[in-house]
Amino acid sequence: GKSAGRGVVSVFASAMAKHAVLQLELERELRQALLLNEFRLVYQPQIRLADNRLIGYEALIRWNQAQRGEVSPVDFIPFAEQTGIIASIGDWALDEAIRQLESWAQAGLAVVPIAVNVSALQLANLGFADSVIARIKRLPVFLQCLIQLELTESTLMQAPSIQSIRQLTQADIAVHMDDFGTGYSNLAMLSRMSLSKLKFDRSLIQNIPDNHAHQQVCRALLDLAHALQLEVVAEGVETQAEALWLAEQGVQYAQGYWFSRPLEKELAARYMDGVTE
| Shortest CB 60 distance to Ca ion, Å | 7
Asked if 257 touches ligand C2E (CB under 6 A), the answer is yes
| Shortest CB 15 distance to ligand C2E, Å | 27
Farthest CA pair distance, the chain: 80
Asked if 56 touches ligand C2E (CB under 6 A), the answer is no
Q: Measured from the CB atom, is 31 or 91 closer to Ca ion?
A: 91
Residue among 95, 85, 99, 38 at smallest CA distance from 63: 38
Q: Measured from the CB atom, is 100 or 117 closer to ligand C2E?
A: 117
| Residue of 44, 46, 100, 117 that binds Ca ion (CB under 5 A) | 117
| Shortest CB 179 distance to Ca ion, Å | 4
- 3-state SS, one letter per residue, for the chain: CHHHHHHHHHHHHHHHHHHHHHHHHHHHHHHHHHHHCCEEEEEEEEEECCCCEEEEEEEEEEEEECCCEEECHHHHHHHHHHHCCHHHHHHHHHHHHHHHHHHHHHCCCCCCCEEEECCHHHHCCCCHHHHHHHHHHCCCHHHHCCEEEEEEHHHHHCHHHHHHHHHHHHCCCCEEEEEECCCCCCHHHHHCCCCCEEEECHHHHCCHHHCHHHHHHHHHHHHHHHHCCCEEEECCCCCHHHHHHHHHCCCCEECCCCCCCCECHHHHHHHCCCCCC
| Shortest CB 75 distance to Ca ion, Å | 14
What residues from 233 to 262 belong to the interface with Ca ion (CB under 5 A)? 235
Asked if 119 touches ligand C2E (CB under 6 A), the answer is yes
Asked if 178 touches Ca ion (CB under 5 A), the answer is yes
Q: Measured from the CB atom, is 29 or 179 closer to Ca ion?
A: 179
* Per-residue interface string for the shown chain with ligand C2E, residues 208-237, x marking contact by CB under 6 A: ----------------------------xx
| Shortest CB 59 distance to ligand C2E, Å | 6
> Do 177 and 195 form a contact (C-beta atoms < 8 A)?
yes
Residue 257 contacts which entry, Ca ion, ligand C2E, none (Cβ below 5-8 A, type-dependent) = ligand C2E
Residue 151: exposed, middle, or buried by beta-carbon count in 10 A (0-12, 13-18, 19+)? buried
| Shortest CB 74 distance to ligand C2E, Å | 5
Asked if 69 touches ligand C2E (CB under 6 A), the answer is no
Q: Work out the number of other CB atoms within 10 angstroms of the CB of residue 95.
A: 12
Residue among 61, 65, 84, 82 at smallest CA distance from 73: 61
Asked if 153 touches Ca ion (CB under 5 A), the answer is no
Count of residues that bind ligand C2E according to CB under 6 A? 21
Asked if 77 touches ligand C2E (CB under 6 A), the answer is yes
| Shortest CB 37 distance to ligand C2E, Å | 15
Asked if 45 touches ligand C2E (CB under 6 A), the answer is no
Site residues (CB under 5 A) for Ca ion? 117, 150, 178-179, 235
Site residues (CB under 6 A) for ligand C2E? 44, 60-61, 72-74, 77, 90, 93, 117, 119, 178-179, 202, 236-238, 255-257, 262
